[in-house]
Amino acid sequence: MTSVQDRSAVVLLSGGLDSATVLAIAVAEGFQCHALSFRYGQRHLEELEAAKQVAKQLGTAGHRMVDLDMRAIGGSALTDDIDVPKDRDDVEMTTGIPVTYVPARNTIFLSYALGYAEVIECRDIFIGVNAVDYSGYPDCRPEFIQSFETTANLGTKMGVDGKSAIRIHAPLVNLTKAEIIRRGIELSVDYSLTRTCYDPDEKGSACGRCDACLLRLKGFEDNEMADPAPYQA
How far apart CA 91 and CA 113 sit, in angstroms, is 34
- List strand residue ranges (DSSP E) for 86-222, in order: 124-126, 167-169
Residue range at the interface with a second copy (CB under 8 A); choices 43-51, 104-112, 212-220, 222-230: 104-112
Does residue 132 touch a second copy according to CB under 8 A? no
Buried/exposed 98-117: b ≥16 CB within 10 Å, e otherwise: bbbbbeebbebbbebbbebb
- Which among 60-68, 179-187, 196-204, 224-232 is the span making contact with a second copy, rule CB under 8 A? 60-68
38, 68 contact by CB (below 8 A)? yes
Q: Shortest distance, CB of residue 150 to a second copy, whole angstroms? A: 5
Per rule CB under 8 A, count of chain residues that contact a second copy: 45
Does position 156 interact with a second copy (CB under 8 A)? The reply is yes
Cα gap 32→3, rounded to integer Å: 12
Residue 124 binding a second copy, by CB under 8 A: no
118 binds a second copy (CB under 8 A): yes
Of 20-28, 142-150, 171-179, 221-229, the segment contacting a second copy by CB under 8 A is 142-150
Query: Which phi and psi angles does 37 have, rounded to 5°?
Result: -125, 155
C-alpha 206/C-alpha 69 separation (Å) is: 25
Give the C-alpha separation, 209 to 156, whole Å: 42
Which residue's CB is nearer to a second copy, number 27 or number 140? Answer: 140
Q: Which residues bind a second copy (CB under 8 A)?
A: 1, 64-70, 72-75, 97, 101-108, 110-112, 114-116, 118-119, 138-139, 141, 143-144, 147-148, 150-152, 154-157, 159-160
